[in-house]
Structure 1
């Protein structure tokens, strides 16, 4: 959703596409065993499954789902962080790392060391001049 608002994004979607985005989002946050297939969601919407697949790829549809995810995450931040902390306390190193990153206590950093030989530009120019003289 680079430069457009949710309101602008919704203007690009039909009411059926907004409903589809909502159903897809709701499906995504269900536990895996409770999720419905795309065929089931398409049937509920009264559309062909191929149409649903095509809609899923629309930029406006993706942006709408991102906005819904952001809203969901904000609404459930305390519960989510509580689960992260609980898992961390149980020894889950990934959750500890996630918690520390979220709190700004851990930053991924990449260091780069250039080990290439430095070129002496003056010596190189002199060498080139010497070669040119021989030609």
Structure 2
């Protein structure tokens, strides 16, 4: 089922643009030898290579639509990816990376970096601060 965002973007494109985006995503997911050229895709859609290039590089709605389509295509493989991940976790020699990915996926492991900076060059005593306040009061009083 198409997402709301995908439908909104689809409404902003012509039918040839929608077809081109679909063919481009489908082509990107093919193995190396089966891939079509950009010229072949343009011919199949009924536009010139230059038009297809313009859509791919300059049309924000087309680019976003193509990316949403790619996400939909890719989502189909999620259960298979999870299955492979579980095989790596449950193997005789569990993969530490697989376990880490699993824990990150469920928010049980986060990367945290803490940086502490100590700057003693500007340390001032209470007397220094009191003197600076008096100087400011004198300036304001003038």
- The TM-score, its normalising length taken from structure 1, stands at 0.69
**Aligned residues: CA RMSD:** 3.3
CA distance in 2, matches of 1:8, 1:121: 62
Using the TM superposition, give the Cα deviation of residue 79 of structure 1 relative to its aligned residue in structure 2, in angstroms.
1.1
2:110 aligned with 1:112, yes or no?
Answer: no
Instruction: Report how many aligned residue pairs link the two structures.
Output: 129
- The TM-score, its normalising length taken from structure 2, stands at 0.66
- Compared with structure 1, are the counterparts of its residues 41 and 112 closer, same or farther at alpha carbon in structure 2 (3 Å cutoff)? same
- Alpha carbons 2:16, 2:45 under 8 Å: kept: yes
Structure 2 residue runs without a partner (length 5+): none
CA distance in 1, matches of 2:103, 2:33: 31
Alignment partner, residue 13 of structure 1: 13
- Larger CA Rg, structure 1 vs 2: 2
1:5 aligned counterpart, secondary structure:
helix
CA distance in 1, matches of 2:103, 2:132: 55
Structure 1 residue runs without a partner (length 5+): none
Using the TM superposition, give the Cα deviation of residue 18 of structure 1 relative to its aligned residue in structure 2, in angstroms.
0.3
Alignment partner, residue 60 of structure 1: 61
